[in-house]
């Protein structure tokens, strides 16, 4: 599949690097004991440290460091035993200290890999440059007063992991797959809830275009895009915009841009000339972060099975297609649901039911798999009824719908509605005889060589049995009878 974009002067390649800001799952902030819950009343989760009061000092939260180490290990990065916190200096009303504590030259994690699962089942590895810890700023509210801005410092000091990819993605689709996989890893690890709507995961998109094989073009950075779809839109738009500018004889300016989700476009925020000089320097209030290698090793041993490993296991053990396996492992809850369904059953049949009927039902009802109206055990019960011949696959779909609606067990619905499959030769033969008697002209035509009419007879007989006839038996018996 070609990722190239066709322009007036030929084909262009898009070069994408992503910077993800992932809010660390932690009850307390990175350098203060204040709480971090989302949606609290403004300025109720603020310590004097977070508000930048005189004489207040930051103290690193060990748990946030642990979360960053786990994430680093989860993306196969190198956890650095020594890292340094720096101050990134700039003035803004929601940045109380006048600087953000971040990591600049010595991040806690160097390198890493995220494996993309593409729609066609192929995979592609994208390099991660680094992961570092930093504190979030507060929030400016400009719509609360006609002439003044309000500041909410609840978010000030909340721990973020900035995860920077190599510029190795070549399409919006790959960028989307990257975020999805990274989010999946973070959720598996429990280090970030990945909730983009609440801003727990935000993405800055670095995009440039070039003719295939040429040197990198000038990039732009589109800031704070907050959904996978928007990221893909922003990249598509930005790539086409850049191609148009270049093909129109213009030049790309290195600048920071904003994404407009209503229009699906990007617009300039500030150019390089107006870029801040952040005057980074090591924060003298904090000693270098020294990590005990044994701690790192212990955390490594305690890591859960991550999506890539789980996917490989599904392909190897359950013989699933890489695509289905990828879909099933993306969310831990889905994978757990699936494994419960598949246990002791045909894993492929289980996969089909989960990815088609169950996902369809969840989509329709707008529910998450954790709140699925059909539990994993109940779905397993339905599959058991198919496997032991109690019902046919076709009837099973009807039963499943009833399960979604009523929450009842499959067996109960089958009994209630009398949907048990008819596997009794005599009963089926009786139905066939009746159908043939009613349609003697068609019988004659069939016998004269019009084989296609078999479908008609199958349909009629099935209808006569209320759809309950065992399809294989019905087929066999019908062929014999029609043959005369």
Residues that bind other proteins (CB under 8 A): 48, 51-60, 87, 89, 91-93, 96-99, 149, 151, 277, 279-281, 284-287
Asked if 111 and 129 touch (Cβ cutoff 8 Å), the reply is yes
Indicate the residue among 63 and 323 with the shorter CB distance to other proteins: 63
The DSSP result for 110-133, as a single string, is E--EEEEE-TTS-EEEEEEEEEEE
Q: What φ, ψ does residue 221 adopt, rounded to 5°?
A: -120, 115
Shortest Å distance, C-beta 149 to other proteins: 8
Indicate the residue among 35 and 286 with the shorter CB distance to other proteins: 286
Indicate the residue among 286 and 454 with the shorter CB distance to other proteins: 286
- Characterize the bridge pairing of strands 123-135 and 109-110: antiparallel
Cα 443 to Cα 428: distance, rounded to the nearest angstrom: 17
Indicate the residue among 83 and 266 with the shorter CB distance to other proteins: 83
The DSSP result for 254-317, as a single string, is -EEEEEETTTTEEEEEEEGGG------EE-TTS--EE--HHHHHHHHHTPPPPHHHHHHHHHHH
Indicate the residue among 159 and 231 with the shorter CB distance to other proteins: 159
Shortest Å distance, C-beta 106 to other proteins: 14
Indicate the residue among 272 and 438 with the shorter CB distance to other proteins: 272
Dihedral over alpha carbons 333, 334, 337, 339 (to 10 degrees): -110
Indicate the residue among 56 and 245 with the shorter CB distance to other proteins: 56
Cα 324 to Cα 311: distance, rounded to the nearest angstrom: 9
Asked if 115 and 12 touch (Cβ cutoff 8 Å), the reply is no
Shortest Å distance, C-beta 58 to other proteins: 7
Indicate the residue among 120 and 143 with the shorter CB distance to other proteins: 143
Enumerate residues 6+ apart whose C-beta is below 8 A from 459.
Answer: none
Shortest Å distance, C-beta 65 to other proteins: 13
- By the 10 Å C-beta count (0-12 exposed, 13-18 middle, 19+ buried), 397 is classed as middle
Indicate the residue among 96 and 380 with the shorter CB distance to other proteins: 96
Shortest Å distance, C-beta 287 to other proteins: 6
Shortest Å distance, C-beta 255 to other proteins: 17
Q: Which helix (H) or strand (E) holds 81?
A: none
Task: Please compute Rg for the chain using Cα positions.
Answer: 30
- By the 10 Å C-beta count (0-12 exposed, 13-18 middle, 19+ buried), 161 is classed as buried
Cα 462 to Cα 146: distance, rounded to the nearest angstrom: 71
Q: What φ, ψ does residue 350 adopt, rounded to 5°?
A: -60, -45
Shortest Å distance, C-beta 245 to other proteins: 28
**Vertex 139: Cα angle to 135 and 143 (nearest 5):** 170
Indicate the residue among 2 and 149 with the shorter CB distance to other proteins: 149
- Under DSSP, the state recorded for 32 is S
Indicate the residue among 22 and 289 with the shorter CB distance to other proteins: 289
Shortest Å distance, C-beta 62 to other proteins: 12
Nearest Cα residue to 136 out of 22, 17, 285: 22
Shortest Å distance, C-beta 148 to other proteins: 10
**Vertex 127: Cα angle to 193 and 80 (nearest 5):** 75
Indicate the residue among 119 and 274 with the shorter CB distance to other proteins: 274
Cα 213 to Cα 196: distance, rounded to the nearest angstrom: 35
Shortest Å distance, C-beta 259 to other proteins: 24
The DSSP result for 359-378, as a single string, is HHHHHHHT--GGG-SS-HHH
Shortest Å distance, C-beta 251 to other proteins: 23
Shortest Å distance, C-beta 281 to other proteins: 6
């Amino acid at each position: 599949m070609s990722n190239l974009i066709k322009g007036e002067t030929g084909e262009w390649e898009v070069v994408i690097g992503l910077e993800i800001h992932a809010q660390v799952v932690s009850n307390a902030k990175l350098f203060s004991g204040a709480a971090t819950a989302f949606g609290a009343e403004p300025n109720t989760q603020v310590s004097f440290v977070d508000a930048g009061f005189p004489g207040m000092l930051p103290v690193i939260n060990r748990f946030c460091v642990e979360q960053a180490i786990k994430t680093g290990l989860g993306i196969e990065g190198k956890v650095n035993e020594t890292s340094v916190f720096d101050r990134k200096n700039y003035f803004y009303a929601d940045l109380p200290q006048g600087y953000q504590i971040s990591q600049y030259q010595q991040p806690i994690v160097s390198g890493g890999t995220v494996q993309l699962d593409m729609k066609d089942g192929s995979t592609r590895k994208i390099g991660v440059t680094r992961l570092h810890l930093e504190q979030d700023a507060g929030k400016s509210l400009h719509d609360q007063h006609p002439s003044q801005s309000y500041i909410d410092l609840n978010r000030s000091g909340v721990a973020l992991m900035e995860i920077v990819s190599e510029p190795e993605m070549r399409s919006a689709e790959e960028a989307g797959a990257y975020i999805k996989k990274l989010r999946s890893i973070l959720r598996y690890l429990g280090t970030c809830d990945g909730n983009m709507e609440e801003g727990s995961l935000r993405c800055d998109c670095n995009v440039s275009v070039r003719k295939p094989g040429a040197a990198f073009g000038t990039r732009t950075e589109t800031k704070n895009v907050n959904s996978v779809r928007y990221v893909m839109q922003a990249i598509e738009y930005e790539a086409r915009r850049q191609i148009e500018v270049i093909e129109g004889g213009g030049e790309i300016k290195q600048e920071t841009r904003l994404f407009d989700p209503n229009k699906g476009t990007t617009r300039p925020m500030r150019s390089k000339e107006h870029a801040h000089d952040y005057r980074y320097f090591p924060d003298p209030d904090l000693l270098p972060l020294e990590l005990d290698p044994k701690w790192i090793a212990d955390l490594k041993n305690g890591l859960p099975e991550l999506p890539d490993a789980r996917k490989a296991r599904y392909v190897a053990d359950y013989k699933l297609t890489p695509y289905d396996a990828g879909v099933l492992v993306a969310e831990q809850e889905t994978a757990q649901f699936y494994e419960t369904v598949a246990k002791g059953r045909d894993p492929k049949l289980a996969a089909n039911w989960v990815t088609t009927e169950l996902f369809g039902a969840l989509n329709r009802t707008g529910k998450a798999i954790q709140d699925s109206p059909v539990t994993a055990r109940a779905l397993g019960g339905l599959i058991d009824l198919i496997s032991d011949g109690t019902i046919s696959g076709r009837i099973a779909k009807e039963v499943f719908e009833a399960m979604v609606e009523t929450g009842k067990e499959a067996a109960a619905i089958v009994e209630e509605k009398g949907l048990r499959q008819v596997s009794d030769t005599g009963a089926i033969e009786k139905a066939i005889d009746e159908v043939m008697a009613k349609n003697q002209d068609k019988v004659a035509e069939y016998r004269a060589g019009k084989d296609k009419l078999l479908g008609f007879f199958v349909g009629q007989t099935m209808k006569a049995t209320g759809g309950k006839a065992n399809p294989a038996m019905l087929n066999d018996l019908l062929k014999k009878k029609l043959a005369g």
